[in-house]
A and B are shown apart, each in its own frame.
Chain A
């Protein structure tokens, strides 16, 4: 799975492997040409984006970040606030992908600069459709910065 085959890089920040795998499967089954990278929480995601440590020395810059909210160590809100402060990271669009339906979380996410908030559908088929629609918008419709 080299980067050449993929037009986009998506960074998924999600702590639950089962949920992360579902995103991977959905991207694949919707034939979205994206290289999916996974960070298990906000801290690891920041390390990835800043290319800190030997693991992330060559980490490709994501075109889109899919962000869960409730994670250990550093949760989604903290992470979002952090990267929107950094000049060379703030232009990466962030879409929240979470189980939380709480209005407070929705408002806070947009307030911090999220470009979308998706409550994970329970039904797998609906989940697949949601990922497809996500891909349609970010990879078909809009232009992204630093796009190849």
Chain B
């Protein structure tokens, strides 16, 4: 994996991870905020309701009379209310406290305990201290338009608050003190509200969110670390794989080159060694002819015979080695070759050998094969020679590791036939000789493997190996089975047409 790619992946993964963590963080804050606001709202409502309940109670009573003292002077704003002040039969002086007054005193004296302070306000005031601020004024106007509640988070003196306000409706009890202002029952007299300071809630919020944020931060860092490590590891693995693959390829190239060199060397060697071998055969035969009538000594004759024989064997071996090496490559154009024509030519070339073996050859109809003509000729030539050599009159059988002579009276008959089966074509070269025992039928395909050691020069032990190599290089195969009557049958299969 190249550097840029892994960097990009790292970046992308980090961004995604950060987005996930960031999202979690935001969602957490959001939920926490909602929770906190919800708590604040609840507090606001409960305080508001308490507040309102008290006011309504007090209003229903038309106010509450309390003893006049220094902290509770008569309310000048109620001057117009008859019997604002009373004296008890025992001479105690009482004055009327309106709900607002009561609350104001209560809030003043038990401020801490009371907690959240509510307020009544109106555009039509008796007590100017109750004048609405900007927010309240806006709320009052909305009440005039018909809204029933204003519940908002807003600032007061730079501090965050949650403010709740509802319109105050005139009930009959209100008229006692406020009737003179021209209200009727059901009118909107003003608004009653409560303001919950949000700072404590916000402090709680932050206090709650902070540790979680820290945890998320740690998780984020750990995640980044994991991503980085992962990417580095993966990249390392890819690099290792690439290196290993390149090394393997390098090795393979070296091996292929070495193989090609060896093959070439073997081919060139076999080719060049054939020249002196050929000359030796020529002169050995010539010497034999020249001395033929002049040799009385059987020993001399024998020496000459052996030289000739071995020279021939060497030539044949080299020829077959060369053929074996060349067996896997076509030597001419690969096409659908008429096997009958090829066999006819092979038989013509082998006329002398066939005559020497006294063999009778039968060739049946042969289908064409997809191969080059020279190699098809080799296949038939080798199998024919095989049959001529081993199916002959004086043949031996390989039995229990020893050669046993089995004279045959029947003349050697060789049959060549073939058939097409699907996408392959099968040729059979059968003889009526002694055949090959089942246990040796695979062995004979090995190079230099021969079944007789009778000094037959023509038999190099490579022929069947050549047959198999040619067949297999075309995608076919070669094997031996028993012919009818016990003889040997060499079968080779080739493709019938080009592989599409």
Q: A18 at the A/B interface (Cβ < 8 Å)?
A: yes
A122: chain B residues within 8 A (beta carbon): 278, 281-282, 315
A127: chain B residues within 8 A (beta carbon): 282
A18→B283 contact, CB < 8 A: yes
Q: A25 at the A/B interface (Cβ < 8 Å)?
A: yes
| A-B contacts besides A22-B279, A22-B286, A122-B282, 15 pairs, CB < 8 Å | A16-B279, A22-B282, A22-B283, A99-B278, A122-B278, A122-B281, A122-B315, A123-B285, A124-B281, A124-B282, A124-B285, A124-B286, A124-B289, A125-B285, A127-B282
Q: Distance in Å from the Cβ of B377 to the closest Cβ of chain A?
A: 13
Among residues of B, the one whose C-beta sits closest to the C-beta of A121 is B282
Residue pairs across A and B with Cβ atoms less than 8 A apart, 12 shown, are A16-B279, A18-B279, A18-B283, A19-B279, A25-B286, A99-B275, A99-B278, A122-B281, A122-B282, A122-B315, A123-B285, A124-B289
Q: Distance in Å from the Cβ of B315 to the closest Cβ of chain A?
A: 8
B-facing mask of A14-30, CB < 8 A → 1, else 0? 00101100100100000
Q: Distance in Å from the Cβ of B499 to the closest Cβ of chain A?
A: 27
Among residues of A, the one whose C-beta sits closest to the C-beta of B285 is A124
* Bound form: Cα–Cα A78–B231 in Å: 67
A19: chain B residues within 8 A (beta carbon): 279
B281: chain A residues within 8 A (beta carbon): 122, 124
Residues of B bordering A, CB below 8 Å: 275, 278-279, 281-283, 285-286, 289, 315
B282: chain A residues within 8 A (beta carbon): 18, 22, 122, 124, 127
A125: chain B residues within 8 A (beta carbon): 285
A18: chain B residues within 8 A (beta carbon): 279, 282-283
* Bound form: Cα–Cα A16–B283 in Å: 13
* Bound form: Cα–Cα A99–B279 in Å: 11
Q: Distance in Å from the Cβ of B148 to the closest Cβ of chain A?
A: 111
B283: chain A residues within 8 A (beta carbon): 18, 22
* Bound form: Cα–Cα A123–B278 in Å: 9
* Bound form: Cα–Cα A18–B276 in Å: 9
A25: chain B residues within 8 A (beta carbon): 286
* Bound form: Cα–Cα A25–B289 in Å: 13
Q: Distance in Å from the Cβ of A39 to the closest Cβ of chain B?
A: 19
Chain A to chain B: the 9 pairs with minimum beta-carbon distance, closest first: A18-B279, A124-B285, A124-B282, A124-B286, A122-B278, A22-B282, A19-B279, A18-B283, A99-B275
B315: chain A residues within 8 A (beta carbon): 122
Q: Distance in Å from the Cβ of B232 to the closest Cβ of chain A?
A: 60
* Bound form: Cα–Cα A122–B315 in Å: 10
A22: chain B residues within 8 A (beta carbon): 279, 282-283, 286
Q: Distance in Å from the Cβ of A137 to the closest Cβ of chain B?
A: 23
Interface hits, A93-117 → B, CB 8 Å: 99
* Bound form: Cα–Cα A18–B281 in Å: 11
Q: Distance in Å from the Cβ of B273 to the closest Cβ of chain A?
A: 13
Among residues of A, the one whose C-beta sits closest to the C-beta of B289 is A124
Q: Distance in Å from the Cβ of A26 to the closest Cβ of chain B?
A: 10
Q: Distance in Å from the Cβ of B165 to the closest Cβ of chain A?
A: 112
Among residues of A, the one whose C-beta sits closest to the C-beta of B280 is A18
Interface hits, A9-53 → B, CB 8 Å: 16, 18-19, 22, 25
* Bound form: Cα–Cα A127–B286 in Å: 11
* Bound form: Cα–Cα A16–B277 in Å: 13
* Bound form: Cα–Cα A125–B281 in Å: 12
Among residues of B, the one whose C-beta sits closest to the C-beta of A128 is B286
B279: chain A residues within 8 A (beta carbon): 16, 18-19, 22
* Bound form: Cα–Cα A19–B281 in Å: 12
* Bound form: Cα–Cα A25–B281 in Å: 15
* Bound form: Cα–Cα A16–B282 in Å: 14
B-facing mask of A81-102, CB < 8 A → 1, else 0? 0000000000000000001000
Most chain B CB inside 10 Å of its own CB: which residue of A18, A99, A123, A125: A18
Q: Distance in Å from the Cβ of A38 to the closest Cβ of chain B?
A: 16
Most chain A CB inside 10 Å of its own CB: which residue of B275, B278, B282: B282
Among residues of B, the one whose C-beta sits closest to the C-beta of A25 is B286
Q: Distance in Å from the Cβ of A138 to the closest Cβ of chain B?
A: 23
Q: Distance in Å from the Cβ of A79 to the closest Cβ of chain B?
A: 20
* Bound form: Cα–Cα A65–B289 in Å: 29
* Bound form: Cα–Cα A19–B278 in Å: 10
A16: chain B residues within 8 A (beta carbon): 275, 279
Among residues of A, the one whose C-beta sits closest to the C-beta of B332 is A103
B286: chain A residues within 8 A (beta carbon): 22, 25, 124
* Bound form: Cα–Cα A22–B290 in Å: 13
Among residues of A, the one whose C-beta sits closest to the C-beta of B312 is A122
* Bound form: Cα–Cα A127–B285 in Å: 12
Among residues of A, the one whose C-beta sits closest to the C-beta of B288 is A124
Q: Distance in Å from the Cβ of B181 to the closest Cβ of chain A?
A: 130
Among residues of B, the one whose C-beta sits closest to the C-beta of A99 is B275
Q: Distance in Å from the Cβ of A118 to the closest Cβ of chain B?
A: 15
Among residues of A, the one whose C-beta sits closest to the C-beta of B274 is A99
B-facing mask of A117-147, CB < 8 A → 1, else 0? 0000011110100000000000000000000
Q: Distance in Å from the Cβ of A1 to the closest Cβ of chain B?
A: 20
Among residues of A, the one whose C-beta sits closest to the C-beta of B281 is A122
Among residues of A, the one whose C-beta sits closest to the C-beta of B283 is A18
B278: chain A residues within 8 A (beta carbon): 99, 122
* Bound form: Cα–Cα A122–B281 in Å: 8
Most chain B CB inside 10 Å of its own CB: which residue of A16, A99, A124, A127: A124
